[in-house]
Every structure is written in C-alpha cells, then in structure tokens.
Amino acid sequence: MDNTAAKVEDLAQNSDEMEVASVELERVVEEPEVKEEFDASAKNLDATQLYLGEIGFSPLLTAEEEVLYARRALRGDEAARKRMIESNLRLVVKISRRYSNRGLALLDLIEEGNLGLIRAVEKFDPERGFRFSTYATWWIRQTIERALMNQTRTIRLPIHVVKELNIYLRTARELSQKLDHEPTAEEIAQQLDKPVDDVSKMLRLNERVSSVDTPIGGDGDKALLDIIPDINNSDPEVSTG
C-alpha cells in the first residue's frame, strides 16, 4: 500500500465531504443546519470505516526495522519515511479514539493525529534508544489536544462557517510544519486555491475568539498551551535529552 502515506498528507485538502462541524451544545442552529450536520455525520462514518479498512493492511515494524527505516528517513529516503508513517497509522487511530465525543469527529481527530505522526517521523532520532511509538505518542497527542482546545469557542457561528474555518485552520497547521513558520494568508490561499480576501476574513474571525496559541508573558515567547503541564506524558525530547 505504497500510496497510503501520500493520502494521509492530502487528506485535509480532499475531505470536504468528511468535514463535520464541532459546535458547542448551547449553540443555536436552524433546522436545515441540523439536518446538514446529520448528513455529514453519516458520510463521515462511511469514510472512517473505509479508512480503517485500508490501514489495517499496514504491517508493524520490529524494533530493528524501526531503527533501520528511521535512519534512512533522516537521510531523506522518502520510501523509508512512508513506511514509518504507514506502519504507525493504527497508533494514531488508537490514540484518537480516546478523544472521541469532545467536539471533533473521529476522522477529524485522526487527521490531526496524522499530522503529529508525520512530524514525529521527521524529528525522531533512533540513536536515543527508545521506541518510535513512545516518541510518536507525544506528538500525536499534542496535535489532537491543540486542535480540540482550538475548537472551544465562546461565540456562536453557523455550522457552515465553522466547517470552513476548520479547513483553513487545519491547512495553516500543515503549512506551519512544512514551512517552519506561521503561514501568511497568501500562503494559505495559494494552498487552498482560495481568494486571499476570503482567507483573511476567516483568519480575522478566528482572532476574535480566545485561543491557546495566544502569546503570553512579558516577551510573548510562550503560548498558553506551552505552559499547561501534561502529567501523563512528558515531551520525549526533554525527558530523554
């Protein structure tokens, strides 16, 4: 299944039908929007089952294979990188299930977790002596938790607006990993083939709500998420460094 990893990275751009809005319980919606959410949920369930069936054929790596492929991936071997990703997609699903019923559909959680998995493959150093699954778990959890916390909004938005905003925010997170900086509205617009003005309006809307990414402190060099302790799973780069 050579193209599974490529599908993972393109999933956010090609998942308009799978997109399910996360809306707070007190949010008032009109009846047609409720029906739209129900229909989207049914499509999302079918897509999730299809995805789970596809990744079930990816064999797990042994400890020795893990080191071998990780070393090759660090040297720029794309095939090794894909193998690392494909072999750990089930880990993403396992972790994503723990975050069900918190505001994001399972497939959306998996998409966010896949971003963390990809990041983990890019940064994993096999010479440190611990298993990749331990390292990847931290990255997967962080990307999922960041997405969930970003979903907590105190303003009322129509479902179709929330869905569109989710697409922009997910694209922004993907680009920030690829570009190593926060993407501009122009870069997001180019990635989505959308007018820059439309992207700018949605980003301004997002700025109106409180976000865990808001800089805090005197120098503004930290975000709220950075100082929230995770007592269950520390950053492997810190704990093993």
* % residues pLDDT > 90 (the chain): 29
Tokens (6 digits) for 75: 């040297």
Averaging pLDDT over each range in 2-6, 28-32, 103-107, which range is the top one? 103-107
- pLDDT for 102: 78
pLDDT tens sequence across 88-100: 999 999 999 998 8
**Overall size of the chain counted in residues:** 241
In terms of pTM, does the model score above 0.85? Answer: no
Q: H/E element holding 161? A: helix 159-179
pLDDT tens sequence across 134-176: 999 999 998 998 888 776 653 456 777 777 888 888 888 888 8
- 222-223 vs 215-216, strand pairing mode: antiparallel
* % residues pLDDT > 70 (the chain): 61
User: CA 67, 138, 43, 189: dihedral to nearest 10 degrees?
Assistant: -90
- pLDDT for 43: 53
- pLDDT for 190: 92
pLDDT tens sequence across 109-134: 999 999 999 999 999 999 988 899 99
Tokens (6 digits) for 66: 């893990």
Fold of the domain built from segment(s) 4-239: Four Helix Bundle (Hemerythrin (Met), subunit A) (1.20.120)
Comparison of pLDDT for 54 and 77, the residue scoring more: 77
- pLDDT for 154: 36
Measure CA of the first residue to CA of the last residue in the chain; give whole Å.
35
Cβ atoms 113, 95 nearer than 8 A: yes
The mean pLDDT value for 72-84 works out to 92
